[in-house]
Amino acid sequence: MARSGQRWPDRHDLTARSSIRGGQTVGRETSMSTEPLPDRDLNQGADDGSGDMATTGVRRILLVDDEEGIRESLSTYLETNGFQVDTAADAIAARRMIGESTYDLVLTDISMPEVSGLDLLAQIKDEHPSLEVIMITGYLDISFAIQAMRRGAYDFFTKPFNYEKILLTIERVEEKRRLEDQARRYESLRQQKQFEQQAILETTLGLARAGEERDRYNIGHGKRTAEFALMIADKLGYSDERKKNLRYASLLHDVGKIGIDDQILNKPGRLDEQEFAAIKRHSEIGEYILTPISFLSDIAEVVRHHHERWDGTGYPDGIAGEAIPIDARILCIADYFDSITSARPYRRPMETEKARALIREEAGKTFDPTLADVFLEGLGAALGQA
């Protein structure tokens, strides 16, 4: 509501009771030009790599006030500064207009007949939670301000208006909308990337399972290998992220067998030298499959080196000791233990105690001795043995 005796500007002469100097109100009348502020660029931020102002800027404003003079003067000022403004004389009309049109911002008086501005604010936030609302009051009462902010108001102004503050506040609303839009875009891209990664992962795991099914003696090997590898990782205090990567490496370590001839994979006997040379290529083929997949590229190296030996006599590169990636050293133990305790066409599965003894014997030769001890300790605990 306008104060008694206050003269509000009309469309031809925006005269206010206050003038603005550096954002401060000075107690004398001054004429306010209807020319747009020279430093407001409607296209500013239109192309910042995150979308245009049509999405994040404030273009269309609904002004709600029961005093015609206020609606007339403030709408004129906003229009001369590049905004499209609709006006409503009461909250009932405003609510109807919001239901029929799209607005970027609502400016509403608090004290109006029938339905107050505070009630309108509550209705707007209930039905259109992302629509920002700025409250207008003819008197400064901190209790009204607190109520308004609690109900979701972005800010509030007192009459007479500080026009510069209005524009600055609208700019803050624009910045808030821009940041929220960026956050939504980021979340959308994150979810899309996550979906794409999951689809690629499932396809790659499908290849690994297909490889296992071609080798009927190897079905379930990847899953069991992952369980043994993660047992070591838990003992070493691996983070969840590192354990996730090790699990993927374990499940995919034999994915390269998809490129090996079925007759070699299912030969009912020991492989000859030429056949063994062919089967050894599976670790390199696995690396070749995984390297182009960005979120699996780190485990490609692990897959390549999971048959390297601590003493340097492994394949494909013959590297030794700590030059072998630690996850590959873990995988070497887990893979070996599951292999010797599983049935093969040319031998029966080894008993657990004999397999444990063989791991202990190969520590420092085939296996990293420290990791071998960690594995045996974890296995003993799992079996309830010392």
Q: Is the pLDDT of residue 298 over 60?
A: yes
Strand partners, 132: 105
The 3-state DSSP class for residue 59 equals coil
More confident residue, 43 or 101: 101
Q: What is the pLDDT of residue 133?
A: 92
Report percent pLDDT > 90 for the chain.
43
How high is the pLDDT of residue 213?
66
CA distance 12 to 126: 39
Encode pLDDT of 310-339 as tens digits. 999 999 999 999 999 999 999 999 999 999
Kindly state the average pLDDT of the residues 221-242.
95
Q: Each residue of 204-214: pLDDT tens digit?
A: 877 777 766 66
CA dist 203 and 379 (Å) reads 32
Report all structural domains of the chain as residue ranges with CATH numbers, in order of start. 14-185 (3.40.50.2300), 215-383 (1.10.3210.10)
pTM of the shown model: 0.55
190, amino acid identity: R
Is residue 336 classed exposed, middle or buried when 0-12, 13-18 and 19+ CB atoms within 10 A define those classes? Answer: buried
- Triad 111, 113, 116: Cα angle to 5°: 50
Phi-psi region of 312 (alpha: psi -120 to 50; beta: other; left: phi over 0): left
Radius of gyration of the chain (CA): 36
171 sits in which H/E element: helix 163-214
Is the pLDDT assigned to residue 35 strictly greater than 70?
A: no
Lowest-pLDDT choice from 76-80, 158-162, 304-308: 158-162
At 84-105, the pLDDT tens digits run 999 999 999 999 999 999 999 9
